[in-house]
Amino acid sequence: MHGKVYEELQQSISSGSKISVVSGYFTICAYAALKKELNKIDY
């Protein structure tokens, strides 16, 4: 994996995906970049 984490997640997240992020570095900017993909996951 090279590049930014959100770029890798964008390619990996699909409908029904489940993810868990525990990081002090997951910022509002990262959320904004992934908002479309994060709306596809199961809570």
Per the CB < 8 A criterion, the answer to whether 34 and 5 are in contact is no
Q: Which tens digits make up the pLDDT trace of 2-41?
A: 667 778 878 888 888 887 777 767 777 878 888 888 888 8
The pTM score is 0.46
What is the structure's pLDDT at 36?
87
Distance from chain centroid for Cα 34: 5
Question: 4 phi and psi, to 5 degrees?
Answer: -90, 145
Two structure tokens written together for 5: 């984490």
Q: Where are the domains of the chain?
A: 5-38
Q: Are 30 and 36 in contact (CB under 8 A)?
A: no
Half-sphere exposure of 37 (CA within 13 A, CB side): 17
